Structure 1
């Protein structure tokens, strides 16, 4: 069995969704996966350059 990807989940929930830690830790893995699908899409693979550029524009790193 593959362990749950906590590092990726925390980066997405706290970094991309910008959830407060309290709200992140109250989510179920299924709720987090649903949010991932809504934001990223249910691609099942890595982001393409267009999707990455879009995310970088929507969530800039302190520019």
Structure 2
């Protein structure tokens, strides 16, 4: 994907997710966009690593 394609996709997503116009997207800094994305994502926990999954499988063998 080229920069232009990626930027157009990001602008479209910002419009849908945050109600931004194209002008608002292009006037924003990457940090501003990232802070909104983090706010929407919330405080999601980190995904389990393979050791944690293995321990859970041992503890709960029925799935």
Bigger relative CO (Cα 8 Å, ≥ 6 apart): 1
The TM-score with structure 1 as length reference comes to: 0.48
The TM-score with structure 2 as length reference comes to: 0.48
Q: Which structure: larger Rg? A: 2
